[in-house]
Amino acid sequence: MLKAQDLHLTFNPGTPIETQALRGMSLVIPSGQFVTVIGSNGAGKSTFLNAVSGEQKVDSGSIEIDGIDMTRQPVWARARHVARVFQDPLAGTCEDLTIEENMALAKMRGRRRGLSFAVKPALREEFRAQLATLGLGLENRLSDRIGLLSGGQRQAVSLLMAALQPSRLLLLDEHTAALDPRTAAFVLELTVRIVAEHKLTTMMVTHSMRQALDVGQRTVMLHQGRVVLDVSGKEREGMDVHHLLEMFEKVRGEVLDDDKLLLS
Amino acid sequence: MSLYTLLGALEIGLIFSLVALGVYISFRLLRFPDLTVDGSFPLGGAVAATLIASGTDPFAATVAAMIAGAVAGLITGWLNVRLKIMDLLASILMMIALYSINLRIMGKPNVPLIMEPTVFNILQPEALVDYVFRPLLLVFVVLAVKLLLDGFFATQSGLAIRATGSNARMARAQGVNTGLAVLAGMALSNALVGLAGALFAQTQGGADISMGVGTIVIGLAAVIVGESLLPSRKLYLATIAVIVGAIVYRFFIALALNSDFIGLQAQDLNLVTAVLVTVALVVPKLRQHWSGKKGG
């Protein structure tokens, strides 16, 4: 379970380019739930995700995962509980390492790394079997450099890597945004399958309202650094993109009105 | 060129292949431009020579030199990781600090090892002359180091160091303490350079404060020459390439300095190095250019 409470984060405080990225952002994701997160540019989606992963330190507030306080922990320490797939397909894998070396790295996510060989025969067979499920023929290319793969292939491998080791939370950061539509659909389908298979608690940030409604059990909309809309269950099932858009316009209007009140 | 010069070139080439392996770890695997090498090479020599001259066992002295090198690398890494000093600058700071430290260790600008025992004359069998035995022993040392490195970089810890150099953000997301990985890699790299310095002092009759000048350029030259001779991304081939590069480089230097018709002298060494590195840097680009034209 992820429990983020009252997160505040301001970039460049005290300067003309001061930006309040998170303003009292709170979100609780119960174990096993798949939540999609949407919001316009600058709404704080990526900042929130980075705050949870540890790449961005928050000014105040607390982040707990399954009751463990993560607020002050560095990225590498949180990795024990948090798996992540990046937006940039090149960011989630090491291009200089082979496919099997990348997977071996992920296999040890958050565990003590010792002096035993990283890729052992039994492990190689496990990786081969996992890769075969992708249907991309990668199971025959274990010792190829991952830099030789296309963005979509690398993103698919990143997803597999995220599930090689149990995690308490899976973070997906617009992980289909940089792919062509067909590959994006493939990677999304793979995401749904892997999340279901491993019953992962998942937070997926997406730029697409369609995608946000199609997958997962709950959709959260961010605006100006906090949650402004939170739908799940029956209400969400009947929703379409235009409903979301209407609600978004309404929310944005209200927020603008709030600002007007403040300014007058 | 006589057999004696050839074996001499091989001997120095092999010693510098250890430097080159160290430089390969910092520059290529960690992507940390590390000039500490110019200080940790004479540091290794100074520690080994001073200890041997004061009666310490040469093997223990050589191990001590490696440890000293590792500590130097650790400090450079620490300046970068903890104090957030830019990598290149951190290594330059360490390099000039080591100049003073090396003088302190030796207590004078040089420590001769003429009659003292060395790892070479202790192990030398009666049947072999020294200038044949030294390169022979060094071949074994370098091969052992190469195999150990290949093995280490295939382990979980070794992989974590390589991932840190290749994509630090990804490495952190996989739970790698990248700061620690940089420290470990820098220590390993400079331990090898310290070892090279210790062996150099024991083959060249002592340590000298100026023996480190240009070490980094020679190490880089070896890496670059090796990579253009045997381009490969596979680690066990890359380490061979680096060793071959160091030896080839040394042969070219010996050839250039020993061929009367070229008219080069010992003081031209650094110029020859610079020209050689330039050629080695340009050749792969030209090759790409030509193959690109053919393909298009």
ipTM of this complex prediction, to 2 decimal places:
0.91
Higher pLDDT, B109 or B232: B109
Candidate from B154, B160, B162 with C-beta closest to A96: B162
Predicted pLDDT at A259: 52
C-alpha A247/C-alpha A226 separation (Å) is 15
- Which tokens sit at B205? 């009759």
Q: What is the mean pLDDT of residues A211-215?
A: 93
What pTM was computed for the model? 0.91
What number of CA atoms fall less than 13 Å from residue A30's CA on the CB side? Answer: 5
Decide: helix, strand or coil at residue A60. strand
Predicted pLDDT at A121: 96
Q: Which of A52, A57, A70, A75 best probes binding to B when mutated, by most B CB atoms within 10 angstroms?
A: A75
B200 and B208 Cβ atoms separated by less than 8 Å:
no
Candidate from B154, B167, B174 with C-beta closest to A79: B174
Please answer yes or no on whether B166 and A97 come within 8 Å at the CB atom.
yes
Domain map (residue ranges) of chain B:
3-209
C-alpha B94/C-alpha B214 separation (Å) is 15
- Which tokens sit at A239? 């929703």
What number of CA atoms fall less than 13 Å from residue B237's CA on the CB side? Answer: 8
Q: What is the pLDDT of residues A168-184, one digit of tens each?
A: 999 999 999 999 999 99
Range with the poorest average pLDDT among A27-36, A158-167, B268-277: B268-277
A255 at B interface, C-beta within 8 A: no
Q: What is the mean pLDDT of residues A76-91?
A: 95
Predicted pLDDT at A264: 44
The per-residue pLDDT of chain B, averaged, comes to 92
Evaluate if residue A255 carries a pLDDT over 70. no
Range with the poorest average pLDDT among A137-146, A255-264, B36-45, B186-195: A255-264
The CATH H-level (homologous superfamily) assignment of domain A2-92+168-263 is: P-loop containing nucleotide triphosphate hydrolases (3.40.50.300)
Evaluate if residue B1 carries a pLDDT over 90. no
Q: What is the mean pLDDT of residues B60-88?
A: 98
Confidence of residue B265 (pLDDT cuts 50, 70, 90): confident
Range with the poorest average pLDDT among A49-53, A201-205, A251-255: A251-255
Residue B11: closest CA among B150, B205, B149, B186: B205
Kindly report the nearest CA distance between residue B167 and chain A, in angstroms.
6
Predicted pLDDT at B259: 74
